[in-house]
Amino acid sequence: MKPLLAVLAFLALPLQANPVMPPPGGADLVDPGARIAASAGSGGSSETIQRDGAGNPPATRIRVAQATPGKAWSASLTVPIGKGTVKKNDRLLVTYLARCVEGAPGRVSAKVQITHPDYTQIGMSDAARPGSAWEPVYQPFIASADIPPGRGELTLFIGEQKQTLEIADIRVLNYGPDYDLAKLPRQKATYEGREADAPWRREALARIEKIRMADYSAIIRGADGKPLAHTEVAVALHRHEYGFGTCVTRGMLTREGSDGERYRDIVKRTCSRVVFENDLKPDSFPRDEKGFEQLEKSFAWLQQNQIQVRGHYLIQEAVDGWTRQRLADPAQLRKTYMESIRQRIEWVGDRVTEWDVINHPIAWEGAEMLGTKGAPFNTLSMDVFHEARRLTKLPLCINEDQLFRPGPQQDETYALLARLKREGVRVDGLGNQAHFNSSFLPSPEELLRVTDRFTAVAPKQVITEFDIATNGDDSLAADYLRDCLIVCFSHPAYDGFLLWGFWEGSHWIPEAALWKKDWTIKEPGKVWEEWVGKRWQTRKTLVTDAEGRISWRGYKGSYRMEIGGKDSGPFQPGPEGSPAQVTAP
């Protein structure tokens, strides 16, 4: 997160006599006499006011004169966390009183972070929408890391819209790692288009039936080559043509024991495509015999089960740890990178369907970028792209995040793709990472609009790293996953939708997993099973005609058939009028 703008005022606000009544058991992390730093952004202002009623402590009134969509941090209130400790997985609750006297409903998001210089995020809340009357706000979340003593702060971000807010009685409470997050009070987050009868969803489901299904036929012959007439045949979709799936790791795909078995079962049942989370990156590509054995075994298992693999990634423009360690010797780093991509492309061969060549070409606010460091870094990413084009005939993609959020990251990614198109550089696909949290959930119609925009410069798109963190609101996460699946399956530009993990025991944001560590399925997991595993499946029992022919309409992909209790194995059905020839098992 970009550092806060220059502080406009430091307001001494006593934080005692707090009327906000959170559940008992939380340890206060904010000193009663803590000072609040107010930053009102361009043209804004802040002041201390006296609230109505005897005994009420003062409040901060802060006026945001200029909205900055996508940059909520441009106006803020910050209070230091000066008491107690915060450990990873602690359940935190931010509470305060607020009202919006101009621009109601207001918009406030809470972020607990480590202080200067890195501003590492510890937790981000849903957006609260205070009205014109005083009301308590509750914003819970799970701490993603420890906070060093004296290095924590709470910041309320308010810069996304023009508004005048009054805020008082700010507290941060720590309920420890074992408290049930669902029992903490919260403002109910939602998104536009969530309602059950939303017109966009009805239209999208109709598009899915039109563009993701086909009329198929096959002629079934016996071992003697003669058509099997008037024979009952069970036909079932084996693998979607569309790339439903998840990121995986070589460690989990080769893990022994019940966890490995459960992990592989979900991948096998629900995925037609996967991507290795880290194993093909320059810093994680195996460098020892055991690592190569695991990766070879993983590829073999995926190939045996007819599951496609994306290659991720050859280079990252946002400086990662592996690159940072080598920045002191630019010439050697360039040489090492070129050797690395040649090794990985040649070793992997055609076992992947495409490569993410450049990951995070634009990246996030404040990111350290290779292209800003001068020669030879300023051309390294595109040099890698051109070298990859020389080394492989596979499609080459660019992968970026926050493309659905209005602002520089979306616009600059579009501009990059448009420039490469003008210069004749062929980019075969755009990977949209699609990491979400409940502080920003664009409507399904907005997702469709942004996708339409990018088709001008990237006709083929794929959701590459989907996850959603909702601070314990599993119903919200489930509904948003469902609607994102429907949106993307209904749009012809997308050819895949990949989760960035599904099991809490192997997930970079454990609360965003679809299955808990003990393999209890969560509400989002039920959505995945229902829509990918049931609704968007084809299973039919048919009877061949006199010529051994069957016809059906089903989802595009490969199929299996069963005759007399015997499985034919995967086959590709032919279109109506040009039937596939299948020999009965």
Instruction: Identify whether the C-beta of residue 540 lies closer than 8 Å to the C-beta of residue 554.
Output: yes
8-state DSSP, 229: T
Residues in contact with 564: Cβ distance below 8 Å, sequence separation at least 6, in sequence order? 584
Residues in contact with 224: Cβ distance below 8 Å, sequence separation at least 6, in sequence order? none
Return the amino acid letter for 53: G
pLDDT of residue 18: 43
Instruction: Identify whether the C-beta of residue 548 lies closer than 8 Å to the C-beta of residue 227.
Output: yes
Sign of CA dihedral 282, 284, 288, 292: negative
Instruction: Identify whether the C-beta of residue 127 lies closer than 8 Å to the C-beta of residue 69.
Output: no
pLDDT of residue 20: 61
Indicate the pTM of the whole model.
Answer: 0.86
Q: Per-block average pLDDT, block size 10, for the chain (585 residues)?
A: 33 40 92 88 91 79 90 92 92 95 92 86 87 92 90 94 94 94 86 97 98 97 94 97 98 98 98 98 94 97 98 96 93 95 97 98 90 93 97 98 93 98 97 93 97 98 97 94 98 98 96 97 98 97 96 97 92 91 91
For each of the domains in the chain, give its residue range(s) and CATH number, in order of start. Answer: 9-183 (2.60.120.260), 239-516 (3.20.20.80)
pLDDT of residue 47: 93
pLDDT of residue 193: 98
For the chain, the 3-state helix, strand and coil shares in percent, each to the nearest 5, are 25, 30, 40
What does the alpha-carbon distance between residue 431 and residue 353 come to, in Å, rounded to a whole number?
A: 14
What does the alpha-carbon distance between residue 133 and residue 99 come to, in Å, rounded to a whole number?
A: 5
pLDDT of residue 371: 93
From the list 32, 35, 27, 31, the residue with the least C-alpha distance to 87 is 27
Q: Provide the CA 1 distance to its chain's centre, in angstroms.
A: 18
Point out which residues pair with 580 in neighbouring strands. Answer: 218
pLDDT of residue 194: 97
Tokens at residue 102, please?
């101009």
Instruction: Identify whether the C-beta of residue 314 lies closer than 8 Å to the C-beta of residue 308.
Output: no
pLDDT of residue 54: 63
Instruction: Identify whether the C-beta of residue 250 lies closer than 8 Å to the C-beta of residue 564.
Output: no
What does the alpha-carbon distance between residue 421 and residue 398 come to, in Å, rounded to a whole number?
A: 13
pLDDT of residue 577: 84
What does the alpha-carbon distance between residue 379 and residue 474 come to, in Å, rounded to a whole number?
A: 44
How far CA 104 is from CA of 129, 166, 191, 563, 584, in Å, comes to 8, 12, 18, 65, 68
Peptide bond into 199 cis (omega under 30): no
8-state DSSP, 505: G
From the list 582, 545, 533, the residue with the least C-alpha distance to 562 is 582
3-state secondary structure 370-409: HHHCCCCHHHHHHHHHHHHHHHCCCCEEEEECCCCCCCHH
Tokens at residue 131, please?
């009205």
What does the alpha-carbon distance between residue 181 and residue 312 come to, in Å, rounded to a whole number?
A: 34
What is the C-alpha radius of gyration for the chain, rounded to an integer number of angstroms?
A: 27
Tokens at residue 420, please?
């490469």
8-state DSSP, 318: B
